[in-house]
Amino acid sequence: MSALDRRRFLKTAAGAAAAAVAAGGPAAACAPPPGTAALDDRTLFALGETVLPAQLGADGVQRAVGGFQAWLAGYQPAVETTHGYGTGNLDYTPAHPGPGWAAQLEALNLEADQRFGSAFAQLSEQRRTEMLRRLIARERVDRLPDPVQARHVAVGLLAYWAQAPEATNLCFQARIDPYTCRGLAEQSRKPAELAGS
């Protein structure tokens, strides 16, 4: 990077930082868009119990749901993404899925209340599964999409979890831990089996 490019970058970055502070500080610059409140924890946990593998147990479901909530809270729509190799076309992240997913969770509760007289989280797993199968049957789910492109929150949660290292480990029943760096001495060793497998 030439001195001129560096100078231009620093000047632009300083201007952006000043604008963020003037608009309410760094926290305001990183705050999620209005109307993208967190999803209902209780209903989302019940959804996780229904769509995620039973081997996770309650703690694993809670980790997955918590991670999903944190990812959603940090998601920024209309952000420029890296363009593909060999093209100068720019792409942008999709609209925030939170409001639509929140409405879907609310619809699950409304339907559960009308049909069975209780909240979705209080239904048996069989009834929850029956409701979700009917809803997801309308979706194209021949593969798991990128979580943000999932049209239904159940698919989004499952797609988010499937990208996690825990999902890879569970699939192979070994501590592969993708996205982590193993030392050179470990490269020739087979990954350790998961406890209890």
Each residue's pLDDT tens digit in the chain (197 positions)?
555 455 555 555 544 444 443 444 444 334 444 545 578 999 999 999 999 999 899 999 999 999 999 999 999 998 888 777 787 788 888 899 999 999 999 999 999 999 999 999 999 999 999 999 998 887 777 888 889 999 999 999 999 999 988 877 787 777 777 777 777 777 777 777 777 65
pLDDT at position 32 is 45
194: helix, strand or coil: coil
pLDDT at position 82 is 79
pLDDT at position 11 is 54
Q: Based on the number of CB atoms within 10 Å of its own CB, is 61 exposed (0-12), middle (13-18) or buried (19 or more)?
A: buried
Q: Where are the beta strands (DSSP E) in 37-132?
A: 80-81, 91-92
pLDDT at position 88 is 78
Domain range list for the chain: 1-31, 34-163
pTM check: above 0.75: no
Inter-residue contact 56 to 68 (CB < 8 Å)? no
Show contacts of 127-131: CB within 8 Å, 24+ apart.
128/46, 128/47, 128/49, 128/50, 129/50
pLDDT at position 23 is 43
pLDDT at position 106 is 96
pLDDT at position 196 is 64
